[in-house]
Structure 1
Amino acid sequence: MSLTHRLWLAFVLMAILSLTSALIGWAGFRHIKQIEQQSTLNLLPTMKTALQLNEAGAYILFSGQALNEVTSEDERQAQGKILTTQSIRIRSLLSQLQDSGFDTSKIQQQEQLLSQHLSEQGQLVEQRLTVSREFSQIHDRIASAANQMTVLTKSQVNNASTAVSANIATMYDDIEKNNRQAVETSLDRLVEVDLDHQSRMTELHEQSLNVANLLAQIVSTSSDDMLADIEKQFGQLVIIVKRRVEFVEDPHRRSLLLPLVSELEAYRALFQHKRDSIELQQRLSFSGQYSLLLFSQFNSELDALVRQVNARSQQDLEKISIARNTSQNLLIIMSIISLVALLFILWRIVWRSVARPLTMQIEALQRILDGDLQTPLPQTISASELKTIGYLVERFRTNTLSLHHQQRYLEMLVAQRTEELNDLVRQHTLARQDAELANKAKSTFLATMSHEIRTPLNGILGTAELLLLKPLPDEDRMAIEVINDSGESLLSILNDILDYSSIEAGRIAILPTSVAPDELIQQAYQLMSSAAHKKGLTLNVEQDAALPEYLQVDRQRVWQIVCNLVGNAIKFTDTGSVTLSSLKVAESWQISVSDTGIGIPTDRQKTLFQPFTQLTHRRGGTGLGLTICQRLSQAMNARLSFESQAGKGSRFTVSIPLKSAGLACLPDAAPQPVEQFSGYHLLLIEDNLINQKVTTALLNQLKVQVTVVSTGREALERLSASDHGFDMALVDLDLPDIDGCELANRLKIQVPDLPLTAFSAHILGNIPEHCYQSGFVGFLSKPLRLKALTEYLSTHLGRSRVIQPVDLLDRKQINDDIRLFGQSQISQWLVLFRENNLPLIERLKSAYQAGEVETIRSVSHQLKSSSGSLSMSTLSHYFGDIEKTYQLDVLKLDALVSDSLYSLEQALNPE
């Protein structure tokens, strides 16, 4: 039998054993499933019915108790409906249980008794409601009569008092006249008539009040004995009141009081209804107790029924357990048999016939491979395949012997060649070490020079920027702008050198993101338009609607190339225009910058992209801009080309591979406003005095409170208190006592909740990444600019931005206008602008939505002039852009109009 047949036989036998075990397990579990299903079909409806019986019994208990407390016929009928519904439900459920084989005769009897008693209880409640209603009617009638009598008797008391007062007054008149007989007569009348009448009327009024008091006691009493006492007192009061009414002298008042007395005399019916009500309430109380007793008996029978259900459920569970144990035992026995059979198959067929002979062959082959070419091969092999392997191994041994001699010859040749290569490697290693030392020296030199130049630049640019924020004479402002522009030029030269150094070192990182090409071109236009306007040039933009809305490119690198090309075009153009184009050409995004400048001579075009190449030294620059643009283009698999003719201008074009992208969060490259962060407190850790002053002044411009320390030790001491009160710490990396990163590690342990920002002129190498690894949340490079500081604090402190007038207004123009015309006149012009131009802005937006090009051009031109007249330069430039491109952003326009008007108001009315 061949090796294949032996293995197939072993696999078939093992498959049969596995299938047999699976079938036995499947049959056992199927039997268990059938028992479980049958038990479930019998058990679940029964348990559900028992639960519904409990629920219905609870409803009957609650409704029976609520029936005694009803106060109206509607409530009684509602509770009666609930009781009837639940009684029918219980009978239906009991019928279901009886159909399932349960004995429900006793519980049915208890339910009938409970239903009959609740029906009687409902009749008692109905009688109580009827008696209560009749009692209330009589009580209201008698109470009304008592209240009316109280009012009438009060007037009689007042009349009697008036008569006494009049008789006394007459007596005093007779005394003054010395009429003794009249005085005696008046005195007798006063004592025998008036005072007696007053006393009777007062008593009548008091008894009327007592009647009203007793009526109130009748309502609240619940005792028969107390009710009898009240009835006796009430009868006596009625007799007394009736007698006193007869002494009322005024016939009209007496005629009014007599019917009221008749009403009071009907008190016996009132007390009878009250006694009936008390009796019915007592009967209802006994009935409620009896209901509880019947429900307790009903619940006992229900518990007995539930126990029957549980007993049947336990029987079903026992059946399932027996079936599961039987199947489990059978499966265990079959598994043991299968295991024994499997072991026998593995030993007899796999090991003895296949594995062991194959192992012998492998061992012999391994010895041959180890160099023992004379080793014997096993001969007692029955499988034909193994015999073939033996034959092949024998041939392999013969071939190996012939190759052995050839190998020795090749080894000798390889040894010679290896020695030659080792010499070349040693020479290359020495050359590489020299190059690394030179590169390290260059990097150290650039890092040192960068730090040493950026540190004084921080003071120069920061101080110039702070001075430009203040109102200055034109001559001083011009001088400071020259200082600021010169510092910016020096910083640009330094950045070009550092970028070129990074490119030479091969540290160009391309990070593609989702970018909106139209938005990037517009932002570049807005950034460079001011430089073009200063030279009297026209900066045009051409955009292709066929471009995708979003592209996958490195935004920072594309932005750097575009700004560099546009900046060069403006620099080398004295008159005319510069055009920035964004087009879709084939499968590439083509960005072109054309100008009408001096052009490039033919003999200089070949060396244009070489580093430190300048067309003329009069235009300034490092000669690295185009070199950097070319290297960045190559890193992005793009192509930078140009066309130029001396005296007629140039055209630079960068073609970037077109890769569409989805929507993403795009950065805002528009000029950011200065912000205020009032209420924030920052700790500045800086040893350089100039940097301390400049940084503090910049932060103060943003309304940030600053505390300055010069060393790391002072910072640790200052932050030792738990309530340090700082929102952020700016840490210089070059402190005299402690390294900035080491200080950050200590501060993260001491004050883990304090955000730390690295602050340094070192930007080469991996310094920013090292700062993030040390626990810094951000990195600010020197020289520090107000815009960059504002954006950084916005991100890490989370304050909303407040636009200052300096960002949106032409400060020189507004100061001149105030001096010439006065604040009041300009304020009037501002009112006229709101009245006349705000409707025009709404008209402009409507024309844009309707696509009315001519209206957009004329209205934007009008708004551009009026905005510029009021010194709102940014708004005027935006209207000029709309006039040229016929494109506008409604949200941006609304925000710019609102912020410009607010800025102008703040300039006219400073706090």
Structure 2
Amino acid sequence: MKKLWETALTWRLVITLGCVIIIFWLSSECIVFYSRYISTQSIIRNELSLELSASVNDESNHYEQAERRIHTLSTLWASMKSEADLDVAVERTVFVPFSGAKPDPQQLKKAMQIVEIFGDENGSDHESTFVMLPKQGFVFFNPNSMSDVYLQKRMRILSQLANTPGTHGFHWGRPFWDVTNKLYVSVAEIQPDTGVMIGKNVEVWRMPMPNHELRNDISFAMLTYDGEWLPIATTDKAIPFEDFPAAHFPSCNEDVSVRIDDFYYVCKPFKGPPWSMVARYPQRAVASKSLDLLLGTLPSTVIMLFMLLVITFLVLKLQVGSPLQRIIAVIDRFKLLNLDYRLPDNRQDELGRIAKAYNKLLATIRSHYRTLEARVHKRTQELDEARKIAELMSRRKSEHIASISHEIRTPLNGVVGALSLLQRSTLTLQQRELIDTARFSTDYLLIIINDLLDFSHIEAGQLELSYESVSVLQVLDQVMLTIHLRAQEKDLALRVLVTDEVPAEMAMDRMRVQQILINLLGNAVKFTESGHISVLVARKGDMLAISIEDTGPGIAEDKQLDIFRPFVQVHMHNGGNGLGLTIASRLSNLMGGEILLQSELGKGSCFTLMLPLSDSLAVLEKLSGPFIAPKALHPQLRMWGIEPQEGEDSRLESPSLAYLPWRLWRILQAIIHNEELVEDVSAPLSLCPWSLKVLLVDDVSVNRDIVGRMLLELGHKVETAASGREALEHGRQAVYDLVLMDVRMPDMDGYETTRRWRDSDADVLDAEVPIIALTANAISGEGERAKAAGMSGYLPKPLSLEQLMAAIELAVSLQLARGAELMPNAQLQKPMLELVDNKLREELGATLLLFGERIGKAWEARESQELLEALHALKGCAGLAGMESVHLVCERLEGGIMKDAWPSRRDIDRLRELLKADGCDSMQ
């Protein structure tokens, strides 16, 4: 059907016209249906209203007749004298007195005779007459079927009847069900002078089935004029109480006809009681009757429509379809782009004009075809050349990114190595400051290079993340220790707060998270001249939020989005390359998080790093109990469940605890468990106890010279090679303990050299020697490539003494595991001073005594700078004299003070004991 619709114009026209005709017919039928619906509705409502009026009038006559009979009895009562005797035997009448009543015998006799005569005038046991004598009781027509319970019930109902409002002098009660399950209502008239109430029970309307075509759908309800719901006798035709729209139903004390929701309601009031009868019939009944009328004419209409469509199809096919088929047959011949064929254009109508226009179009196409073909060929050649140029530029860019690291880091390696060697030599204070400045400048240059390379890697999608389980508090401490000195130089207050919901550990890329936080905190320190920098770490749902707030100049609202763009700086004179925040933002996105910014110009900024948390993370151990601590630590202690008390505790006095949460946590744990805190003081650089024979392979002579000197400084023997082939020759002639192999070398690179070294056919004397790569490439995956080539590890350039010593320790462990024999390091075998001269020993003792006094005074006065200088001098003196234990203790205390860990009295006592052990009682 779809194919026929798409390919046959005649069918489309016929179907379209058919749809239009059907829509028009349906519209007209809808109008007719609506008209019939309105008319049917009016007819049904009028018919029902008439039938309901007739039934209500019949029932009203029944009620009015009851009122007339009661009025006749009331008149008879009024006309009779109290002592009158009707000479009637009272057999079926009973008097039920009120409690404590004293009846009037003559009045009672008169009432009982009247009830005996008129009590059952209709022959019904329950449509009976009654009389109420005020303050005496009731006189009932009481056949044997009446029980005492029923009489008591009737008395309660009739006692309330006197209090109901009167209608034309008559009081109507509520309908009630009697013991025969018939519905009755009590009506009475009260004598105005005596208060005697004369009445009777009247059977309520047994609703006749209206002679109406919707009789099966009609239901009824009976209401008072006030809208009160009354029972009806025919319960199966009653409107359910819960379905009656009492809130929307109008007053029914006169004729009413209304539609509410899906029903029509007709209301007629009774004559006599203040009631109305409501008849309801559904709207669907009216619609069904109207639809029946419509369906009666449907078959003939459908047949006529079908015949009309057939005739339309035949006419269109003859006048349009056949000529179009002939045109299509001609056009199909041009599938091979033969422009010599023409359409027949002998017709004068629209189809003929189409054929003439098409023939002209063919002529125009033929004239432009050759020109277009030539242009397309030329553009194709240009696009192909542009594509080749773009691919070439892309390759060159990738090669440039790969080589820029090597080209820049190679000279930096020489600079950093030379500076490291100078720092280990004897220097004046001015010379050391100059070297520190040069080292800081090289480190800053390396940061800029790393930022550029990280940005390139992120842009190229080459950055890889390395996740591991990391202590959140330790990461915070490491970051704060990186920036706290710069903050202290500007006299900025640092504070870190960690809520108790923060997990103890979480999966993250430690290096990248530290990179982000150092960048954010570094910017805060850089742009904040006074005030404070606060860090708040909290858990927000399934995210870890690290907020960094400062009191800096703030960022204008129109600049807040720009700062995350590459190479954009809001403050142009504060240094930097404009990549830090860009890299931080993109790194957070790679980790599934984001960086949020809130800033107000002139008041400060707040950067929030959001990181996703994995499931089942252990939270920090709950702490409790009172602690005496400085006031600055109280907010953090309260967050961890501790009740802080202001006071002094030497273990919590360090100001750095306000921004080092991991150190604070460990101190609190030690206090709670009554344990001694072991400080995490970085081990000082110490020479390897083994002297290795190292082969250094590098094509750059400066690198061979600098790294060689660094190895010699550490007590190792060095041989060098300028190429891979030369290195293999060395390997065939000698056995080495370690090979340091540059990765990028001409002719044969370090990877290929290593593979050949490991090859059993290379005739190398020791094919299993540890080979560690020296690489200036800062591209991810360098470690995997080194491992794949058979190397034991890799060192990035520029190379520091610390990195070199770590590589040597790795080589030593690998060699010892192989069972290799290593030579001891001669530099560790003896002290630089031989203390055999008594005079020299005395001078040394006096010097140590002076240093001991300086240390004691500085410790008592808490002068950190003076204590640092004294410890540094004592450390140097002990090192020259071969006092290794004193040297190590001084070095540890010096490092602790530089990290804001003030030495305890136990530390000072320990130093005193060591000096005593070495024969120097200078601390006494």
Shorter-normalised TM range = 0.3 to 0.5
* Richer in strand (by share): 2
Structure with the larger RCO, 1 or 2 (CA within 8 Å, 6+ apart): 1
* Richer in helix (by share): 1
TM, length-normalised to structure 1:
0.42
TM, length-normalised to structure 2:
0.42
